[in-house]
A and B are shown apart, each in its own frame.
Chain A
Amino acid sequence: DIQMTQSPPSLSASLGDKVTITCQASQNINKYIAWYQQKPGKAPRLLIRYTSTLESGTPSRFSGSGSGRDYSFSISNVESEDIASYYCLQYDNLPRTFGGGTKLELK
């Protein structure tokens, strides 16, 4: 199984900050990584697929990059509505595996 090591587990930011979350896969995942946002009591919401492709409705302040084993996800100009948990997902191989998550909080 591919392990996804996500960091940091938590992040404290001020409104307007830029924050970055990383995921490292245990092997090359050929850019097949997606990023999800999850708010309490809600299902995860797909924001980005295939490393950097924004879903319809995803604000442009969200971005993704990376290749091979190393990937990152950024939010520029954090807004209050971005306070949530974020997860990466590799979908190169079965079983699909998620990162452990990053909880974004307001400073």
Chain B
Amino acid sequence: QVQLKESGPGLVQPSETLSLTCTVSGFSLTSYSVSWVRQPSGKGPEWMGRMWYDGDTAYNSALKSRLSISRDTSKNQVFLKMNSLQTDDTGTYYCTRDRGVFAYWGQGTLVTVSS
């Protein structure tokens, strides 16, 4: 069955870089796109960016200068890197299979930006 799982550090220092990994199973990254979505506690979700099935990327313009999404198809993994983290980047980060709508989600990983 389709599964996605996020992994990465739970705590990041301000101004540092966040690195997250999304490991997928049950589908191929060369057939489906994967998006990253984050959600501050108590607030609505925010779409961050997408790794297209063909390897292209798309980013939310609000984050584009700080964000990079890449993948390793041999390992069924999609990566997120975001630099210059601040406290308002604290929240739960999800990866989701993207076919327009987001039908399958990972469990999410809580990232706290704090010194």
B60, A55: Cβ atoms closer than 8 Å: no
Taking a contact as CB atoms under 8 Å apart, the answer to whether B44 and A49 are in contact is: no
B58 touches A98 (CB 8 A): no
Given A89-B102, A91-B101, A95-B61, residue A43 in contact with residue B108 (CB < 8 A): yes
Chain B interface bracket (under 10, 10 to 19, 20 to 34, 35 or more): 20 to 34
* Secondary structure dominating the interface of A: loop
Across-interface contacts of A89 in B (CB, < 8 A): 45, 101-102
Residue from the list B58, B61, B103, B108 in contact with A46, Cβ < 8 A: B103
Q: Verify A43–B47 contact, CB threshold 8 A.
A: no
Instruction: Give Cα A90 to B101, complex, Å.
Output: 8
**Which residue on chain A has the smallest CB distance to residue B64?**
A95
Seen from chain B, the residues whose Cβ lies within 8 Å of a Cβ on chain A are 35, 43-47, 50, 58, 60-62, 94, 96, 100-103, 105-108
Identify the 9 closest CB pairs spanning chains A and B, nearest first: A43-B105, A96-B47, A95-B60, A34-B101, A91-B100, A101-B44, A49-B101, A98-B45, A98-B44
Q: A32-B100, A44-B45, A91-B100 are known contacts; what are 17 more A-B pairs with Cβ within 8 Å?
A: A34-B101, A34-B102, A43-B94, A43-B105, A43-B107, A46-B103, A49-B100, A87-B44, A89-B101, A91-B101, A94-B50, A96-B47, A97-B47, A98-B44, A98-B45, A99-B44, A101-B43
